[in-house]
Amino acid sequence: MTTSPTPNRRRWWALGLIATAQFMVIMDTSIIGVALPRMQEDLGFTPSTLSWVFNAYVIAFGGLLLLGGRLSDLFGARRLFIAGWIVLLAGSFLAGAAGDVTIELTGRVVQGAGAALIAPSALTLLMMLFGANPRELTKALALYGAAAPAGGTAGVFLGGLITQYASWPWVFYINIPIAILAVLVARPLLPGGSSGARGSVDLFGALTATLGLGALVYGIVRAPEAGWAATETLLAIGGGVVLLALFLVIQSRSRSPLMPLSIFRAPRLGAANLAQFFLGGAWIPMWFFLNLYLQQVLGYSAFPSGAALLPMTALIMVGMIVLAPRVIARFGMKTPIVAGLVLLAAGLGWLSLVRPDGNFLVDVLPGSLVAALGMSLAFIPSLGTAISAARPEEGGLASGIVNTSYQVGSALGLAAMTAVAASFGAEQLGDLAALTDGYSAAFLGSAAVALVGGLLALAFFRRTPASAQAAEPALDAVA
């Protein structure tokens, strides 16, 4: 049946809303970076608690994504998409109006919970709109994928602009008008479609996953200060591992699990999520420490620091929209994922050569562009494989899992590289040589993460069986 022009145009407007959602939930991880020193002064954060302005959001986001995917399947993607924006709006108001540390971190947790409802429902809606047409689906996934790095860099850019010319609460308040607009246009633009899923909500599973991730990240972040053999560190890391193991036990025995382990029987789904995990684990630390190198070593102020990351973002967007679909069409899914992770590792290795007396054109631009090219090649095929491998009724779950893989990889990767950087001198503010050594070590560690991801993708991304090929959407159609 031929689709009329008006609905077709509406689908692309709907994609704009979905991409905006991806842009915003990723932007909220980065927009606070430049504002942290002002927040520390006004709210009374200590150096050891300040990082939790970032961690509180990411842990709530990553830990609750599976719950968001399950709720999307049970109650409908559009309904959860709208609810997520309302929760994000409330969290943004709370974080902006906070007068102390507790309220600030509570607001960030609420923001993360809203993002955890938005992200999986957005991917489900994308598949509902474009899943029947492989050629259009490739374009839609490319535009959706490009929104993530754009949001990350825009967060740094806007955070610097807002902090320098307004005040730090506006890095949160900026979400409010966008959330209101999204709620107003979601119903007329997005498909309603009721889900066929039935069952209960595994709240205990969501609790163990979130607390386990939080304890693990806390232990890793605190270890350089408290000591890796300290009781506090061992209890936090050990407790996190036990809680995450308990989560898997619960999922294997529950009648209505948050994450049915049987979903990983789908060809390539596990390997695709593994690739997303390592992409997050390498990319987010790179972005975080590159921003610190620009400001604390090269002396860039907030606004120029954000602007310096624009070439990298532009290359990612062009690579995802133009290059990646063509590489997928020519070589399939496995080759660009493996090549992308290896290129990301190469770019990070190049960045590890940064110097205390370096400059942007020599020390930052070349390595960041190579890393960006790798990210643009690997992200789309791993994302597309992960969300297309599951059955249609498990679309929200698959979207939640792949988002969780990326966010958990981001949280653990940043925690680990923060510990590595601290061990090599990154806490010695004002000592440019020590700072550079710390950031260089973090870049090199992130390169190792990306390289391990590439090797695992090479090993586990096996040729798809013929039976699976028949059911798998042809995401490798040329855009």
pLDDT in tens, 58-76: 888 877 887 887 788 788 8
Q: Which of 85-94, 150-159, 463-472 has the lowest mean pLDDT?
A: 463-472
Residue 413 has pLDDT above 80, yes or no: yes
**Domain boundaries defined on the chain:** 1-190, 202-257, 265-463
Strands (E), 196-269: none
Q: Is the CATH code 1.20.1250.20 the one for domain 1-190?
A: yes
Average pLDDT over residues 328-339: 90
Q: What is the pLDDT of residues 86-110, one digit of tens each?
A: 999 999 999 999 999 999 999 999 9
Percent of the residues in the chain that have a pLDDT greater than 70, as a whole number: 89
Which one has a higher pLDDT value, 270 or 453?
453
CA proximity to 119, closest of 107, 111, 109: 111
Query: What is the residue-wise DSSP string for 384-400?
Result: HHHHHSS-GGGHHHHHH
CATH of domain 265-463: 1.20.1250.20
Give pLDDT, residue 3. Answer: 39
Using the structure block, give the residue that is written with the tokens 């489900």: 124
Give pLDDT, residue 347. Answer: 97
Cα 91 from chain centroid (whole Å): 19
Tell me the range of 200-204, 241-245, 342-346, 426-430 where mean pLDDT is highest: 342-346
Instruction: For the full predicted model, state whether its pTM sits above 0.85.
Output: no
Average pLDDT over residues 310-325: 85
CATH topology match: 1-190 vs 265-463: yes
Q: Which residues contact 248 (CB under 8 A, 6 or more apart)?
A: 261
The amino acid sitting at 44 is G
Q: Which residues contact 119 (CB under 8 A, 6 or more apart)?
A: 21, 22, 25, 61, 65, 68, 84, 399, 400, 403
SS3 179: helix
Q: What is the pLDDT of residues 213-230, one digit of tens each?
A: 888 877 887 777 778 888
Residue 441 has pLDDT above 80, yes or no: yes
User: Helix crossing, 365-388 with 334-351: angle to 10°?
Assistant: 150
CA distance 186 to 269: 30
Cα 31 from chain centroid (whole Å): 14
Give pLDDT, residue 197. Answer: 56
For the chain, how are helix, strand and coil distributed in percent, rounded to 5? 80, 0, 20
Percent of the residues in the chain that have a pLDDT greater than 90, as a whole number: 33
CA distance 416 to 237: 12
How high is the mean pLDDT of the chain? 83
CA proximity to 449, closest of 345, 373, 370, 353: 345
Residue 466 has pLDDT above 50, yes or no: no
